[in-house]
Amino acid sequence: MSFLDPRTLAFVLFACFIAVSFLLCILAATGNDDPTEFYLGTSGLSPMQNGLAIAGDYISAATVLGTTGTIALAGFDGVLIASSTVLSILMFMLVMSGPLCGHGRFTLGDVLAERLSERPARVNTAVVCVVVVLPLLLVQLNGAGSMMAVMLGIPGSAAVTGCTIFIGSLMVCYAALGGMKGTGFIQIVKTFVLFAAFVLLAVLVLKRFSWNPVSLFGTAADASGFGGTFWQSGRQYGDSAAGRLDVLSVQLTIALGACCMPHLTMRMHPIRGLRAARAATTWAVGAVTTLLVLIVIVGAGAAAIVGGAGLRTADPTGNDTLLVLTRALDPGTESAHRSLLFSVVACAVIVTTLAAVAGLTLAAAASLAHDGLAKVVFRGKLSPDRELAAARTAIVVVGVLAVVLAVVTQHWNRQVLLSFTFAAAASALLPALFYGTMWSGFTVTGLRWSLYGGLVLTVVTMTFSPSVSGAPLAVFPDQDFQWFPLHNPGLVTIPAGFALGWAGSRFGPRPRHVRRPAPEPEPYATYPG
């Protein structure tokens, strides 16, 4: 029967998701007639809905594909990455939710402009936000494009390029139509779809091992090729001193970098009140933790069922581990796109990616349109209609730029772009955000030093790291200009970013006193009479 053809079913599932998500976006778009509703549209959601939307933003294709692959190929180091992701969202809940929630702010520029000089705070933050968000956008688009090409059974680079452009167009439509509310709804749907897919995979994996996790992890260690050392640290970057420092660096980078990404901080702005923010983030932590436990089971299952050698042959970076596992769990089919399980999982991953890229595009476009254009170029005199039009134009610009760059970087190792994104966020954005919300002595000079200093340091160290040259999995494997020993520079650049922010505020020029209007009348009574 043609309807039961897995390829057709996958196509129908994907089309259903697109139809539902467009419907949600159109429903959300009915109220998007002013910038406040466009940027803060999720203020009416319950804490659980907000929490699931935050969790959806947190769990990108990088987490789903990359972490699963690292667990399958490197064992304990992958589990540490999963735990650092949980720690990251915990830090987000504890440290960021308080200063960021409420107050009608749209972007990080709004947050920093409250205490610093407005124009430099907005311009510098917007530039760094776009630079930080774009590489993550490329990773998601590339992942979704290649996954869709495999799901449809179309081989070749041209098919991947076509699928990437299609996904990019959908992303622009979602973000431009739905705004914050539309992308929030899509994130909630995505969280449920992803949960369903990973519960199914974990059940199938555990069933193979008679529902015994000890047997699963033991078989994974035996089949990985590392034996008993599979569940010890050092398999990802080697046993050298640099390799061990690299593991620590990755942990710090993920734990501190993911918690200040603009598309996540933007989700906190619509939530009114600290209590609601805590409740929402508690839901988010619970959802992310549960999903990561499932990811650990699936990753170990990939190592146990497929084996380390098979996984490395399929993709040495580990990004295809999930797909290889789904094919192994459904061995009756001769090719990937003929497998029903593969089609369902691929559909879930594409949905994940689509939702993530919509949120990222919205965050980058908000920085450009709201901070750059509306507040700096037009000095806040833009009418609501024109600001909304500017936001939608910025979404199209960011989307087109991202698709072009994604096509160019199609064959790059995605881990490099991921490392750069999180390292740059932790080294540049986090110090600025931390000092800007918690230290009254922070100045514009400190902001510039931390933002640009952290970013430049990250670019320089990444450029001369083994991730870019001098290694088989590097971006340029045939060239060797590396001198920085770590794949992930966070161990050096994160403290440097904090030190630069402090030094700039302490030793840089002091700002002239700017008289600002009082935010609200003083509560003190006048003299009686």
Partner 1 sequence: MSARQAMPAIYAMSGIAATPPAPAVFPTAAEPPARAGASAPPVPPMPTHPPRVSHAVRRTPWQRPWPWTARAACAALTCHVAAVVVNCAAEGVVDIGEGGGFTLGALLVAVDATVLLTVLARTHRQSLDEGEPDR
Residues that bind partner 1 (CB under 8 A): 47, 76, 80, 83-84, 86-87, 90-91, 93-95, 98, 101-102, 229, 232-234, 244-245, 247-248, 251-252, 255, 273-276, 278-279, 281-282, 285-286, 289, 438-439, 522, 524-525, 527-529
Q: Give the C-alpha separation, 88 to 521, whole Å.
A: 39
Closest to partner 1 by CB, 43 or 83: 83
Closest to partner 1 by CB, 3 or 527: 527
Closest to partner 1 by CB, 32 or 219: 219
Q: Which of 459, 485, 460 is nearest to 471 (CA)?
A: 485
Per the listing, tokens 């992942």 go with 143
Cβ at position 30, least distance to partner 1 in Å: 30
Q: What is the DSSP letter of 43?
A: G
- Amino acid, res. 101: C
Closest to partner 1 by CB, 215 or 229: 229
Cβ at position 244, least distance to partner 1 in Å: 4
Q: Give the C-alpha separation, 168 to 163, whole Å.
A: 8
Instruction: Find how far residue 127's CA is from the centre of its chain.
Output: 18
Cβ at position 371, least distance to partner 1 in Å: 24
Cβ at position 234, least distance to partner 1 in Å: 6
Q: Give the C-alpha separation, 191 to 361, whole Å.
A: 19
Cβ at position 447, least distance to partner 1 in Å: 18
Cβ at position 423, least distance to partner 1 in Å: 17
Task: Label residue 313 exposed, middle or buried (CB < 10 Å: 0-12, 13-18, 19+).
Answer: exposed
CB-CB contact of 223 with 308 (8 Å)? yes
Q: Give the C-alpha separation, 281 to 235, whole Å.
A: 33
Q: Give the C-alpha separation, 309 to 314, whole Å.
A: 9
Q: What are phi and psi of 113, to 5 degrees?
A: -70, -15
Q: What are phi and psi of 10, to 5 degrees?
A: -60, -40
Q: Which of 59, 107, 124 is nearest to 267 (CA)?
A: 107
Cβ at position 180, least distance to partner 1 in Å: 21
Closest to partner 1 by CB, 174 or 230: 230
Closest to partner 1 by CB, 98 or 225: 98
Cβ at position 272, least distance to partner 1 in Å: 8
Cβ at position 441, least distance to partner 1 in Å: 9
Q: Give the C-alpha separation, 282 to 55, whole Å.
A: 10
Paired with 476 in beta bridges are 469
Closest to partner 1 by CB, 252 or 341: 252
Q: Give the C-alpha separation, 340 to 321, whole Å.
A: 17
Phi-psi region of 211 (alpha: psi -120 to 50; beta: other; left: phi over 0): left
Closest to partner 1 by CB, 76 or 420: 76
Closest to partner 1 by CB, 178 or 501: 501
Phi-psi region of 526 (alpha: psi -120 to 50; beta: other; left: phi over 0): beta
